[in-house]
Amino acid sequence: MNKYLFLILFSVICSGAWAQVSNQPRPQLSKSIPADSLSYLSPKDYIIGGVTVSGTKYLEKDVLITISKLNKGDKISLPGEASANVIKALWEQGLFDDVKLNITKISIDTIYLDIAIQERPRLSRLHLLGIRKGEAEDVQKKLNDKSGKIVNENLLNTITNVIKKHFNEKGYLNTTVDIQQRKDPSDANSLILDVHVDKKQKVKINSVVFEGNTVFSQKKLRGFMKNTREKKWYHLFGSKKFMRDKYEEDKQGLVEKLQEKGYRDAEIIGDSVWKHDEKTVNVKVKLYEGPKYYFGKITFSGNSKYPTSFLTNFLRIRKGEVFSEENLTKRLSGPTANGDDISSLYLNDGYLTYQADPVQTKIYNDTIDIDIRMYEGPQYTINRVIVKGNDVTNDKVVQRVIRTLPGQKFSKEAIVRSTRDITTLGNFDESKTEPKPTNIQPQDGTVDIVYNVVEKPSDQVELSGGFGGGQLVGTLGLTFNNFSIKNLFNGKAYRPLPKGDGEKLSLRGQSNGQNYQNFSFTFSEPWLGGKKPIYFSVSAYTQLSSNASVYEKSDPNYYNLRINGAGITLGEQLKVPDNLFQLNYSLNVDHYSLNNYPGYLFKNGNSWNIKLTQEFSRNSLDQPIFPTSGSNIKFTVQVTPPYSLFNGVNYVIATPQQRYQFVEYHKWKFEAQWFQKIIGKLVLKGQTQFGFMGSYNTAVGQAPFERFKLGGDGMQSYQFLQGSEIIGLRGYKNFSIVPEGSGYNADNNPGSPIFNKYMLELRHPLIDGQSAKIVLLAFAEGGNVYNRFADFTPFNVKRSAGFGARIFLPIFGLLGLDYGYGFDTIPGATDANKGQFHFSISQSLNGGFN
């Protein structure tokens, strides 16, 4: 009796163990096999005659058989542990909802098996809910590779972690993700995941504290962590959100700053971040500052091109100075602002493979001796110069501005200047213009230079409406910045217009109907003749201003002004003082025909303005659209013939028509800008302007044209009073600033012969890409106008401040919106200052001095 009870108990235990291991029903027999043919009480050995797989849809059958380890010809004991292991091995893959091992046939001692599986459903689509469309698109890009994957816990965890990491990096540390599954009606074995994302609020930093610091104050250390800022109202720059990647960067930067100050052993020995409340976290950083070190003896070895004494003086680091690896590396390898590091010294003289390895040879007390081990290598000569990526612009347009020529010694300075000149062409993406030395041949000392460029849209379309002179004006402008006039009659060259020669063609028209029309044409060639950088341009325009919409031409109140003009300009790039200087000469002829027209010193008659202009300039700006360094300086002299000295007119009794038939004056202007990076991408722009217009003969008096009008957005496009030079001063209405006591106002302002203006502007790019650039700015400026030098007071200016933005789209040019607040009242015009919005179109961020 006991023996039978033992056998029954043993059978139950084995059956339970089988079910526990496989989590599935025990191997089932096919219907053709008698159920009692196998017994757990008497297992039997078989030879595997074959293995098949059923139920697969996506998985490879051979792979599954390999995982099962059921090989034809192997022995297997059934029922027993071997069959349980088969199911366990397949189940552990996490790919199935059901796994069975079936017997399809038994022939004497040979058995045939079938692995019957039911695959888990796969992911067909993700629906991201609870976030904006743009955010969903960004997240979706990171999850695109999950489509078609089996939906299991691992996939769900991966999706959750990817989404949380994405938003954590943007400051949303409390993001939650809830994933719900539903069947895909179009595919029975697929699932759609509805992913509900709740970003919560951005987490900011409540406090940043330091431990272990004895030399550096809490405030000083916080200043070193520019992207980990406390939530304070006075922190205008730098993020106040906690972002893990920025925090890690700041920790590294903190150590580098301490080492730069001489604390070479400084390190972070611990840090922690913990929740302060639902919106903020606290940050604590534990420091070890260590002792402060100083430079000891500095020696050079391996140098033959330059003697040690010369290199020591050029290095400009003296014994006893605070030790700074960063400063030493900068002085050895650059980059320095003036290119006066030792690396530039060698690289500008052909030593392409120059290397300098500073070795700390001795550390005693607080002093470190340095031996700078030099490898000069051979001097390299340029073999070939190659331009890649210019699909539209012809090779000659790029190559003629390149200053690294075959046969010349390799020069880093020449490569940097060539890169700058390529970007100023305006046809390529500045951020993607990349010079690269290649095919370096030490045996013969030659190297090739490859300039990789990326074309960008350079043509511009201006289609806009604006207010000028109190009326709505429509504008249509077309500017082709990479034109080719030589292919004008070559039908095959049209794409859709002939392009590729770097010439510029501009066509522009403005009108508000009967009252105002203005049409202009400009063509310029930067390399006249193709061999030298001789700038040539020709322009013409015609303008009509009237009140024809109100009065008939026969009405005595009718007035009109017709201006026709043409000009030609020749310019040359100078070599002395350096090749950044440009000298331009322009000859312009303007004809004014006035019929009862107000706003000038006379109302009726004809006047000719024949002027010769000389412009002497130097432009070292690093970028044409958004400069971050360099300067732009212009000195301009404009003169007309002194008609009064030889025309025999008695100006004491002359009529206005006689006095102004030929306008005479001399005009002098000085304009200067400079740009400097302050911190990160924040750029400071400084600007000053001065203009003076004089006369040859006091009996003639000041000319009625070419005067200065100050105030407003500085746009000449939407103002009717051509013949004046418009100077912007934000925060004030257009042309509203007039000399004190003159009796003029914005409506009857003929302009002034003297002006000055100063400006400071902070700029920071919000978007800096190829397809669009958005720049935010804040400004403070001041300026004034005067009728006489006796009244000129340089710092008696009308002041304003404000903020704005510039949006650059390659096809439309530059769009600007500013809000300025004028602090000084204008006599007779109480509404001319205070808050003013200014809108501008196609004004440059660098070249325009408005």
141 contacts: CB under 8 Å, gap ≥ 6: none
d(CA 138, CA 116): 41
Whole-angstrom distance, CA of residue 314 vs CA of residue 346: 12
pLDDT of residue 296: 95
Helix (H, G, I), strand (E, B) or coil at 384: strand
> What is the per-residue pLDDT for 213?
93
> Among 601, 521, 517, which residue's Cα sits nearest to residue 562?
517
- List, in order, residues 6 or more apart from 171 with CB less than 8 Å away: 202, 203, 204, 239, 241, 242, 243
Residue-wise pLDDT tens digits, 651-699? 888 888 888 899 999 999 999 999 999 988 899 999 999 999 999 998 8
- Evaluate whether 779 touches 438 at the Cβ level (below 8 Å): no
Q: Give me the percent of the chain exceeding a pLDDT of 90.
A: 45
pLDDT at site 234: 59
C-alpha–C-alpha distance, residues 522 and 614, integer Å: 19
- For residues 536-540, give the mean pLDDT: 96
On the question of pLDDT at 95 being above 90, the answer is no
Q: Which two tokens stand for residue 733?
A: 């209405």
Give the angle 238-241-246 at the CA atoms, nearest 5°.
70
Amino acid at 277: D
pLDDT digits (tens, 9 = 90+) for 115-157: 888 777 888 888 999 999 888 888 988 888 888 788 888 889 9
Question: Average pLDDT, whole number, for the chain?
Answer: 85
Report, as an integer, the average pLDDT of 500-518: 88
Collect all residues with Cβ–Cβ distance below 8 Å to 497 and sequence separation of at least 6.
480, 483
Do residues 256 and 327 make contact, with C-beta atoms less than 8 angstroms apart? no
Confidence of residue 315 (pLDDT cuts 50, 70, 90): very high
Cβ 169 vs Cβ 243: under 8 Å: yes
Domains of the chain: 2-119 (3.10.20.310), 122-198 (3.10.20.310), 204-288 (3.10.20.310), 294-375 (3.10.20.310), 382-452 (3.10.20.310)
Q: Are 16 and 10 in contact (CB under 8 A)?
A: no
> d(Cα 330, Cα 229) in Å, to the nearest integer?
28
The SS3 assignment for 332 reads helix
Cβ-contact 690, 756 below 8 angstroms: yes
Tokens of 599: 């706003």
CA angle 679, 683, 688 (to 5 degrees): 140
**Looking at residue 605, what DSSP letter applies?**
E
Is residue 193 left, alpha or beta, with left meaning phi > 0 and alpha meaning psi from -120 to 50? beta
Please state whether beta strands 110-119 and 44-54 pair in parallel, antiparallel, or not at all (unpaired). Answer: parallel
Q: Of 687, 693, 707, which Cα lies nearest the Cα of 782?
A: 687
Nearest to 441 by CA among 391, 484, 380: 380
How many residues are present in the chain? 850
| CA gap 222, 235 in Å, rounded | 11
